[in-house]
């Protein structure tokens, strides 16, 4: 087995993952992870993700409607909850939709261009911090 640095540079190399992943994970060849999980898991993931997105959007829009009333905005706690609802809604729209497009169309939005990649990463991290 050749462990020279030139073989370790390209982590996306299929030879690397097939040869060294079981060694790194300390697995026997029969216990090595499968390359493609069954399609049922993919469909369940897509359905679950769609449900999470719709329930999250519905709940956050409802929070925005309730907490944006004049009487509610006067109390700092409700104003804070209004800002959290805005941030959560943006995380759902920016972050979860990226997972959904990746799961359904097998297309990563961040691979479209460097600008889209940097913008998406920035927005996701910014909204998660808030």
pLDDT in tens, 18-54: 555 455 445 455 555 556 667 788 888 889 989 999 9
Cα–Cα distance for residue pair 29/111, rounded to 1 Å: 32
Enumerate long-range contacts of 89-92, CB under 8 Å, 24 or more apart: 89/56, 89/57, 89/60, 89/61, 89/64, 90/123, 90/127, 91/124, 91/127, 91/128, 92/53, 92/56, 92/57, 92/60
Average pLDDT over the chain, rounded to whole?
Answer: 75
Cα–Cα distance for residue pair 5/75, rounded to 1 Å: 60
Of the segments 19-33, 62-76, 99-113, which one has the largest average pLDDT value? 62-76
Instruction: Confirm whether pTM is higher than 0.75.
Output: no
Q: How far from chain centre, in Å, is Cα 34?
A: 22
Of the segments 52-56, 76-80, 106-110, 114-118, which one has the largest average pLDDT value? 52-56
Handedness of CA 120, 121, 122, 124 (dihedral sign): positive
Q: Which of 32-41, 64-73, 103-112 has the lowest mean pLDDT?
A: 32-41
């Amino acid at each position: 087995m050749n462990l020279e640095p030139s073989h370790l540079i390209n982590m996306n190399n299929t030879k690397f993952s097939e040869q060294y992943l079981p060694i790194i994970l300390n697995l026997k060849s029969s216990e090595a992870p499968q390359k493609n999980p069954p399609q049922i898991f993919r469909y369940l993931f897509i359905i679950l993700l769609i449900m999470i997105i719709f329930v999250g959007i519905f709940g956050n829009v409802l929070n925005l409607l309730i907490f944006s009333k004049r009487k509610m905005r006067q109390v700092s706690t409700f104003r804070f909850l209004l800002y959290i609802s805005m941030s959560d809604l943006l995380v759902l729209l920016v972050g979860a939709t990226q997972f959904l497009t990746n799961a359904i169309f097998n297309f990563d939005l961040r691979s479209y261009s460097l600008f889209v990649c940097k913008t998406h990463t920035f927005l996701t991290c910014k909204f998660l911090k808030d």
